[in-house]
Amino acid sequence: MCGITGILANDIDPQVINLMTDRLIHRGPDARGIYINERKTLALGHSRLSIIDLSEKANQPMSTPDGRYTIVFNGEIYNFKSIRKELINIDQALNFNSNSDTETILLAYKA
């Protein structure tokens, strides 16, 4: 089970989200990632337990190519392949960078 951390504040100290995420490494020892927005008002951390897509392309936090949306996610979307096909049918130009259910959820939310 992955570990997820987050802070919503006026001025985030990056050390805090790093410490928080480090404390959850036992929840997901396969990868670790941090996202802090430009204004330093939102920080997300993720310690990953790889299950579906084992590649680095599926690491989190994961953002859309335009950077508008970012996700940290723990769970498994069992029908993500059919959702992915549906999204591609809607937008033929849609480009997936991984085989992860997280990216599918992120791009479905954007759509």
Please identify which of the residues 1, 2, 57, 58 carries the catalytic annotation.
Answer: 2
- CA–CA separation, 36 and 97 (whole Å): 22
Burial group, residue 31, by CB count within 10 angstroms (0-12, 13-18, 19+): middle
Strand partners, 8: 42
Residue with structure tokens 């599926």?
58
Catalytic-residue membership of 2? yes
Catalytic residues: 2
